[in-house]
Amino acid sequence: MQPLNAPGRRSALLPSYWFNLPLSLVLLASGLGGCTAAVDSNGRPRNTGTGPNSPPIAADPNNPNPQGTGGTGPSPTATTTGPLPPGACAPDASLANARIWRLTDPEYVNVVRQVFGVSINPEVSSAQSSVENLNLADSAGVNAANATNYQTSARIAAGQMVQNLASLMPCGTATPDTACVEQFVRTSVARAYRRPLADAEVTDLLALYTLGLADSPSVGVRLILETVLQSANFVWRTEIGEGATSPAVGTKVTLTPFEVASAVSFFLQGSAPDDSLWAKAQDGSLLTAGVLSQEVDRLLAQPEVRTNLTADAAIWLGLGRLKARPKDAALFPEFTPAASDALLKSGEAFLGETMWNGQFTDFFSSKKIFLNQELAALYGVPGVTGSQLVPVDVTTAERSAGLLSQPAVLAAHASPSESDVVHRGLFVFRSLVCGATIPKPAANAVREALAALPADSTQKEFANFRAQNPSCQGCHSQFDPFGLAQERYDALGRFQQTDAKGQPIDDTSTIISMGQGIDGPVAGTTELAARLSTARRVADCAVTNLSTIALGQDTKQDMSCALRTVQDSFATSGSFPELFRSLLASPGFATRDVK
Amino acid sequence: MNSHRSDFNRRRFLQFAGLSVLGTSVLSSLIARAQAGAPKRLLLAARPHGSIATEFFPQGGSATSFQLPSITSPFEPVKSEMLLFNNLTNPRQEGWAGEHDVGIFAMTTGREGQSIGDGAVGTGVSIDQLLAQSSPLLNGTLKRSVQLAASPESGPGGARHAGLRVISYAGGGITGAMDPETRPDVALTNLFAGVSTGGASGNDAAQARARQLNRAVLDQLVLDASRLKAKVPISQQSKLDEQLSALADLTRQNDTVVTSTAGCSTPTLAPLPGGSAEHAAQSRAMFQLIKGAFVCDLTRVVSFTFAPEQSSMSFNDIIPNEVKNPDGHHDISHASDTGERGAIDKFYCSLFAELLVEMKNTPDGAGTSLLDNTVVAFVTGINDGNGHGMDNMPVAMFGGKSLGLAQGKIVDAGGRTMNDVWTSVSQAFGVSGNFGDPALVKGPLSGVLV
């Protein structure tokens, strides 16, 4: 067994999808509609809409969950049939649906290296597929092109593996006999399939070996490997339970210990279960809550796992937009490719520091920024030398808003040439408060709106136009205020006092529709961050986003009490390790609803 | 089972598209003409960022006597096989969001797509996939269709908008997007591995044995997928149906022996040079594969993308005499100076003309050329890189004489959509009915077919 190493599990380019794909999928399912208020008349997210499933109620220091929906007691429950009353949750609902989930190409590569000790070309199912990396369970299939590429990859990989049969096969340098090959199948292939093989499956693979053996033992083993690496048993993760037949719609299945092990390992490690998880799946102990929690804790302590989860947070927060939407090189020659690369790493370093050495509230109050000499010069921070990023506690007020004053975050959601009220606003609206689905405006409507103002109008002037234009204001009034509060930062996230016309920047706005604790006039990023840091809705939204990545399924409409419990726990603890532990050890994680 | 599945897919495609295979209808003579002689093919090709109308469309002249301006001048050698359109619209309804991505999606599927940030998805089926599944003229080859692209694996314009390389859609949302192969060597292996050198040589015996072993692998893969399908929820079975369908295709390809003939041989590809010469070399390698696959009748349907619709490829090294600006294609396409963006579109036209001339010079059947027997559509997602409009689309078609496509003329589309052109093309391939969004199609466009 090879040591696990999962480089490149997540792609920094993901955020452009992350921001758009779930929205698009919702639009596909429901048809384009206009903007609706994110909350009902009582300030609660609409249960039938796309808001988060917990009430957007500001935390009271003495009662962090004013509705009594968590913290010290269980959430109110309801049956899973029929509409749920406001604030209620479904007690029996699983955290995800029963499904099969295709390995991403990085996962495929990792499993091959982990189980067979061979590094293969990263383009497995397609040449740089643009779709699979999102990694929702239903976002990737095996079409004709994928199948052809799997065939090519499997042939190349199997050819590599049989170059050194002695290290591959359990019988070492001896010519493999049937017993040796069977042992290989029952051990190595089982690890590749992430479950023991049925006897019939073993027999099938041995028959392939026999067929190839007429040419040579190497050919026989190669046939097994070519088959395994293209098999549905390999390319699909299963979360369907033990049953031998298709489970009935409306029922619930309990995952096998091996499926639980895979669900944990692919989320945390981007690969198949390691030796410890495998052993506990084999003896069945993994299904006991204590053992599963211990395993999750063991994994959460691993630097590689923390790196993976930090990358997940970077996806959630859209840092990849730094690369996907590069800055105008003519306007910002000082923002070199090296500075751009360093800024992305700076953002990731902030997330890592906050997630693993801090609390969720640090997301909105930390003054720490990771800088090297080039970035420090760019952002006007003295005293930093060298090319390595180092943590700096910046004392100026404009860098005291945690995430919202991180140069990486501000730059990621700005336009290539200037600040960006719309996209910075959408970032907060979608990623931090889980606002309702906003349909994209028609291209012609955007053009008409832009044509109504001079081309050199400031962001504030455009925002004022949208606020007064009936065809714009319905949607923009929900997220523009968040962007306006960040107006004092330019396209690179540098603090600025005046706009392009030399006028003092007005960063005041009024937030609406987000509920008590968030709504109301706000002035500047620091004030916005302070308000978000105390809103229960924001903590719930963090859980919603990270659980969507963990579960491969959009949880914005998840009404399960299982997810509510995770949210309750996170709202109390503010601890990211606790969030992941409570999610993976939840009873709802070990079952799947059949839909 | 395989034939049942094919029938099912074909029926589903036809039902979805509102099309039907022509029987003994008024157009049966079209089929008879098309079925005669050499195989018939479809090549759907795309380049990014539209063009510049005054340099793409003839300025003056008549519908049959015109002079090609700067950008389209490289097509002069195939002008007599060329079909241009005046006032042809990319299908679009007021209120559709998105531009580049939704534009190229609408161009090939005739329907609305949803932006996913780096591409578009939707339920639309692209014209190449529709005809690959439903035309009686395009069935029976080793591969039902092939998707290729010439954009590099990384760097500006490659990685950034990879999703926009997709122009072929099999329907069904994200999983229907058919990512093109960008590696010429891999595409070569995938296409030509089954081409026999002929005769009873030892090499052929080795190939036969390889096919036998691979068939055993494929049979096991079908068994594995079938077993899994029996255990998954109904909602998940379509995923395995798709995989089983793909495996059926691979099995058919494995079992089909294509004997090399005087005209058919496996292309020899030169190593890609890297650097500024890479893009053109990669395009030419793909041209070799397209021509070779058609001549050997390995497939009759190919889609090819030069670069993603929102490509940011830099051209100041590729065509340094014409483009000095180091910005990417997308940025240049928005520049008010039309000289450099015109030069880039002309670069693509020049490259594509090389393939067309090669096809014109390749005999194919009695007295016809490969170009005569191939309908070639050269499309893009927007009309102009700067304006992003959807009217007066700079689309050109070539060849297809044996299928009844009009030659050497300009058709006045009068504002009608590309769906009407595709409807005409569908008829040429023996498939009737309107293509695309019913609200955006009127029927065959007069003048496309003779």
Q: What is the pLDDT of residues B263-294, one digit of tens each?
A: 788 899 999 888 889 999 999 999 999 999 99
Question: What is the spatial distance between Cα B316 and Cα B324, in angstroms, rounded to a whole number?
Answer: 5
Q: Which helix (H) or strand (E) holds B278?
A: helix B278-295
> What is the mean predicted confidence (pLDDT) over A385-414?
96
Strands B41-46 and B301-305: parallel
Residue of A nearest to B160 (CA): A324
The pair of three-digit structure tokens given for residue A146, joined into one six-digit string:
């994928």
Cβ distance B220 to A231 less than 8 Å, yes or no, reads yes
pLDDT-derived band at B203, boundaries 50, 70, 90 = low
Strands A236-239 and A99-102: antiparallel
Output the pLDDT for position A501. Answer: 84
pLDDT-derived band at B387, boundaries 50, 70, 90 = confident
Of A98 and B337, the one with more pLDDT: A98
pLDDT-derived band at B262, boundaries 50, 70, 90 = low
Q: Which helix (H) or strand (E) holds A254?
A: strand A252-254
CB contact set of A543 (below 8 Å; sequence gap of 6+): A563, A566, A567, A570, A579, A583
pLDDT-derived band at B89, boundaries 50, 70, 90 = very high
Residue of A nearest to B121 (CA): A24
> What is the mean predicted confidence (pLDDT) over A178-194?
97
Of A200 and B3, the one with more pLDDT: A200
Cβ(B364)–Cβ(B38) below 8 Å: yes
pLDDT at A514 over 80: yes
Q: Interface pTM (ipTM) of the complex?
A: 0.86
Of B292 and B179, the one with more pLDDT: B292
Output the pLDDT for position A287. Answer: 93
Question: What is the spatial distance between Cα A464 and Cα A460, in angstroms, rounded to a whole number?
Answer: 6
Compute the CA torsion angle A18, A20, A23, A25 (nearest 10 deg). Answer: -90
pLDDT-derived band at B32, boundaries 50, 70, 90 = low
State the nearest Cα–Cα gap between B143 and chain A, in angstroms: 9
Q: Could you read off the pLDDT of B214-248 as tens digits, one per residue?
A: 999 999 999 999 999 999 999 999 999 999 999 99
CB contact set of A478 (below 8 Å; sequence gap of 6+): A35, A37, A38, A429, A435, A436, A438, A512, A513
Q: Could you read off the pLDDT of B115-167 as tens digits, one per residue?
A: 765 667 778 899 999 999 999 999 888 888 999 999 754 433 334 456 678 89
pLDDT-derived band at A550, boundaries 50, 70, 90 = very high
Cβ distance A231 to B213 less than 8 Å, yes or no, reads no
In single-letter form, the type of residue at position B298 comes to: L
Q: What is the mean pLDDT of chain A?
A: 85
pLDDT-derived band at B21, boundaries 50, 70, 90 = low
Cβ distance B233 to A249 less than 8 Å, yes or no, reads yes
Output the pLDDT for position A448. Answer: 77
Q: What are phi and psi of B367, to 5 degrees?
A: 75, 10
Question: What is the spatial distance between Cα B48 and Cα B101, in angstroms, rounded to a whole number?
Answer: 10
Beta bridge partners of A560: A90
What is the residue-wise DSSP string for A44-111? Answer: PBPTTTTS-SS---BPBTTBS-TTS-SSSSPPPB--SSSPPPTT-BBTT--SSBSEEEEPPHHHHHHH
Cβ(B398)–Cβ(B376) below 8 Å: yes
Output the pLDDT for position A47. Answer: 39
Measure CB to CB from residue A441 to each of B97, B123, B175 and give the nearest one: B97
Residue of A nearest to B185 (CA): A152
pLDDT at A56 over 60: no
Mutate to test the interface with A, among B93, B179, B312 (most CBs of A within 10 A): B179
Cβ distance B117 to A205 less than 8 Å, yes or no, reads no
Output the pLDDT for position A455. Answer: 81
In single-letter form, the type of residue at position B274 comes to: G
Measure CB to CB from residue B117 to each of A21, A128, A243 and give the nearest one: A21
What is the reported pTM?
0.80
Question: What is the spatial distance between Cα A75 and Cα A67, in angstroms, rounded to a whole number?
Answer: 9
Beta carbon pairs, A and B, within 8 Å = 207
